[in-house]
Amino acid sequence: MRTVYVYVLDTLADWEPGYVTAELHSSRFFKKGAERISLKTVSCSKEPITTMGGLKVVPDCQLDELVIEKTSVLLLPGADTWSDTKHGAIIEKARELLAVGATVCAICGATAALADAGLLDARKHTSNGPGFLEMVCPSYKGQALYVDQASVVDGNLVTAGSTASLLWAKQIIELLGVFEESTLQAWYAYFNTGEPQHFFALMQTLQC
């Protein structure tokens, strides 16, 4: 079983991890024989956090319980509180995870936290548009590897801008390999367009 950790912090942008956590937790579209996923929320303490939408989340575990191994996955959602120095601890965990080949996925404000720590200086990445990281991270030196796309995969790192939660989810699911390729494409097409033919195509892939 693979563990996917979702870092939770005050003002977490509720919508950003929604697509990927829903699919990984429910496993409703998983292919036959897919590896099971254990989804855990992790934070600096066990104290509840309050999301941007006002929801209370009680973390499952603290940082010292996060296992650093190649099969671990860390999701870093956006929030308005990433500048708080206490979140530097999870960024160091992200550094350790990347070093052992584990998967780290950051979206919106979390990309700024990675950039500020120098973790995007040598990897292809994206964020909330050209110039954003320079504006919020004076120490950022990764301009040459910035890719002006909604979501970018570079090996075991996935980064995305604030409006790309669906594509970010698709790329994470693809890296985990838990959907058939045809299922993933139909799933993405349906939620991206809302066109009913893609829903029926999605259902057909499950029957096959």
Question: Which residue is catalytic, options 44, 105, 108, 208?
Answer: 108
CB 97 within 8 A of CB 68: yes
What Å distances lie between residue 31 and 34, 129, 178, 187, CA to CA? 5, 35, 6, 13
Angle at 79 between CA 78 and CA 81, to 5 degrees: 140
Q: Which residues contact 80 (CB under 8 A, 6 or more apart)?
A: 11, 52, 109
Give how far the C-alpha of residue 185 lies from the chain's centroid of Cα atoms, to the nearest Å: 19
Please state whether beta strands 73-76 and 103-107 pair in parallel, antiparallel, or not at all (unpaired): parallel
Give the whole-angstrom CA distance, residue 148 versus residue 68: 31
Q: Catalytic: 208?
A: no
Instruction: Name 54's Cβ contacts closer than 8 Å, sequence gap at least 6.
Output: none
Three-class DSSP category at 206: helix
Q: Which amino acid is at 146?
A: Y
Q: Could you list the active site residues?
A: 108
